[in-house]
Amino acid sequence: MYQYFYNLLGNEIAATLITAAVPLVNVLLVALIGVYLERKVSAHMQDRLGPMRTGWHGVFQTVADFIKMLQKEDAVSTEIDKKLYNIAPVLVFTGTFAAYAAIPFSSQLIGSEAEVGIFYVVAISSLVVAGILMAGWSSNNKYSLLGAMRSAAQIVSYEIPTAIVILSMVMLTGTLSLDKFSQMQTAYFWNWNIFGGAELGLVKFLLIPFMVVGFIIVFISTLAEVNRTPFDIPEAESELVAGYFTEYCGMKWAMFMLSEYGNMFAVSAIVTILFFGGYQSPVGYVGDLVGADWMIPLEQGFWFLAKGWFFIFVQMWLRWTLPRLRVDQLMSLCWKYLIPYAFVNLIIIGFISLI
Amino acid sequence: MDFYNIVFYLFALITVVSAAFVVTTKNVIHSAFFLLFTFFGVAGIYVLLGADFIAVVQIMVYVGGILILLLFGVMLTNKITDVEIRTGTIHLLPAAIGVGVFMGALIAVMVWTNWKSVPTEIPLTTTKTLGNLLITDYVLIFELLGILLLIALIGAASIARRDKE
């Protein structure tokens, strides 16, 4: 993709900008469709219909909402820390979007082929924590600050089990690059890491149960990192109004929403790449069958988005099924269960990969 | 000017300006947030030097760990809705002399040292090499650091533990 535009335009910067626009469009689409889907999924789970009036089954609801948001007055209270208050939404969104730089959408559409891929994604998401703290503090509101504190504590703690599971996967595959992760799990679903990776043998079958454990740990902890229910205590509506973005409205509020949905897709993508073959198709490629090579990257893009959306759906499903955890339950789940299990899993995977 | 030069000066500017704000801003919270940009600028310079792993570690440890800890510390130790956290300047003269001497020494070293510059190819990735070196040549230091961190961890846990009555 980058190479294509580079050949077309002959300019590094322009080619990079165009390539970078693709994930941005993706984030916008994820937010647009995600908000609609969330309403529909929640409605159907509660035996309601959800939005029905704007267009067929309300498909234009989020578009209408977006137009409303653009027109809103930017109401700013007087007792806030103006500078930080204005920077915070941008910072949060930057942290979210920066993670997309390393995510391979297909074998041809990779922002950065940096070797440190997964490590970079884990590191850069800490920017979101700083942004959330900034938002909560600068709002000069008790609820905002409490929400920000909870959120930061939660994200920082749940980074640990995620990092340990990622470490075990890195140990197994010997690479940090997200693209190589995807390439190694070749184009059939039994070659995915959740089914023990591409190499056939005793090791593959020994690995399966520990891969499943790893997947469950990483899924729970990434769910907590994006502040989704059952881990949404930072913005618990019934306790904290709206948590760290209580004081925001209009487009600044929309930035936080955009960031939340962007984060949801990003963590889905990470789970997909780690365990479910990344952009690889589960059943082989049509392009291979008919001998059209140009089709393969497109199909890979399709499968990647499909897997990403599937995990977003699972996140919504869990949100409307499970009640919220208490703060102490949240911390004890992380420190007393997930982290020890992740460590044991790490050691066992280490031993198995030595066989 | 080369594109990479522009990027370098951009990062250098971010680092220096935000570092200056860190020390001059009266508000501690503002200082802490300016520190965020300083750390990022430094990480950017690491990337330009081809040290990708170090750059990511810089963000991970300083932004993700130390800065968040710092913010938590400031926000929790003061009255939590109190904006009036101020820093002052004391002992201006001795501090200026000390900093001046130190800076002079650094600049002198920078100017008079006979730097060896060997044109080498920037490695594509440094992670594997770093890992190998850590576990072969520098294994003793690596293990010692591990023990140090473990001690810190146990110390933190024992301080936080509540004694049973």
Q: Which of A116, A129, A137 sits opposite B56 (nearest CB)?
A: A116
Each residue of B5-35: pLDDT tens digit?
888 888 899 999 998 888 887 777 788 888 8
Mean pLDDT value across chain A: 81
Report chain A residues whose CB lies below 8 A from the CB of B68. 126, 129-130, 133, 152, 156
Report chain A residues whose CB lies below 8 A from the CB of B33. 84, 87, 130, 134
At A24, the amino acid letter reads: L
Each residue of A38-63: pLDDT tens digit?
888 888 888 888 787 877 887 888 88
- Residue A16, chain B, CB below 8 Å: the answer is no
Report chain A residues whose CB lies below 8 A from the CB of B53. 116, 119
- Is A169 domain-assigned? yes
- Residue B14, chain A, CB below 8 Å: the answer is no
pTM of the model: 0.83
The pLDDT score that the predictor gives to residue B82 is 52
- Residue B66, chain A, CB below 8 Å: the answer is no
- Give B98's pLDDT tier (boundaries 50, 70, 90): very high
Q: Which of A134, A149, A159 sits opposite B33 (nearest CB)?
A: A134
Closest Cα partner for B74 from B19, B40, B18, B33?
Answer: B33
Q: Which of A13, A116, A137 sits opposite B127 (nearest CB)?
A: A116
Mean pLDDT value across chain B: 82
- Give A1's pLDDT tier (boundaries 50, 70, 90): low
Indicate yes or no: CB of B81 within 8 angstroms of CB of A140.
yes
**Alpha-carbon distances, residue B118 vs A252, A303, B107 (angstroms):** 50, 47, 22
The pLDDT score that the predictor gives to residue A344 is 92
Q: Which of B53, B63, B75 sits opposite A130 (nearest CB)?
A: B63
- Helix (H/G/I), strand (E/B), else coil: B86: strand
The pLDDT score that the predictor gives to residue B145 is 92
Q: Is the ipTM of this complex over 0.90?
A: no
Indicate yes or no: CB of A83 within 8 angstroms of CB of B127.
no
| Total number of domains constituting chain A | 1
Q: Are A205 and A191 in contact (CB under 8 A)?
A: no
Q: Are A75 and A249 in contact (CB under 8 A)?
A: yes
Q: Are A266 and A96 in contact (CB under 8 A)?
A: yes
User: Residue A101 is part of which domain span?
Assistant: 72-353
The pLDDT score that the predictor gives to residue B79 is 53
Indicate yes or no: CB of A119 within 8 angstroms of CB of B53.
yes
Q: Residue A129: is its pLDDT beyond 80?
A: yes
Indicate yes or no: CB of A115 within 8 angstroms of CB of B80.
no
Indicate yes or no: CB of A130 within 8 angstroms of CB of B68.
yes
Question: In the predicted model, what is the mean pLDDT of residues A295-316?
Answer: 85
Residues within 8 A of B (CB atoms), A 283-312 only: none
- Separation between Cα atoms, residue A63 and residue A32, nearest integer Å: 7
Q: Residue B112: is its pLDDT beyond 80?
A: yes
Mutate to test the interface with A, among B39, B56, B76, B81 (most CBs of A within 10 A): B56
Segment among A11-15, A163-167, A217-221, B79-83 with least mean pLDDT:
B79-83
- Separation between Cα atoms, residue A217 and residue A160, nearest integer Å: 11
| Dihedral in degrees, nearest 10, Cα atoms A214, A104, A121, B150 | 40
- Separation between Cα atoms, residue A267 and residue A254, nearest integer Å: 20
Minimal Cα distance from A79: which residue of B?
A: B83
Phi-psi region of B78 (alpha: psi -120 to 50; beta: other; left: phi over 0): beta
How close, in Å, is residue A115 to chain B by CA atoms?
A: 6
Indicate yes or no: CB of B127 within 8 angstroms of CB of A130.
no
- Is A327 domain-assigned? yes
Bond preceding residue A230 cis, omega within 30 of 0 = yes
- Separation between Cα atoms, residue A172 and residue A159, nearest integer Å: 20
pLDDT > 70: percent of chain B = 88
Question: Of A119-123, A226-230, A287-291, which one has max mean pLDDT?
Answer: A119-123
Q: Residue A190: is its pLDDT beyond 90?
A: no
- Residue B29, chain A, CB below 8 Å: the answer is yes
Within 13 Å of residue A341, how many CA atoms lie on the same side as its CB? Answer: 21
* Contacts (Cβ under 8 Å, ≥6 apart) of A340: none
Question: In the predicted model, what is the mean pLDDT of residues B130-144?
Answer: 88
Give the H/E segment covering residue A147.
Answer: helix A142-173
* Contacts (Cβ under 8 Å, ≥6 apart) of A22: A1, A105, A109
Indicate yes or no: CB of A119 within 8 angstroms of CB of B33.
no
pLDDT > 70: percent of chain A = 95
Q: Which domains does chain B have, with CATH numbers?
A: 1-83 (1.20.120.1200), 85-165 (no CATH)
Residues within 8 A of B (CB atoms), A 171-190 only: 176
Each residue of A260-279: pLDDT tens digit?
888 888 888 888 888 888 78
The pLDDT score that the predictor gives to residue B148 is 95
Segment among A13-17, A35-39, B60-64 with least mean pLDDT:
A13-17
Q: Residue B83: is its pLDDT beyond 60?
A: no
- Give B106's pLDDT tier (boundaries 50, 70, 90): very high
**Alpha-carbon distances, residue B153 vs A123, A301, A330, A348, B78 (angstroms):** 21, 44, 21, 24, 25
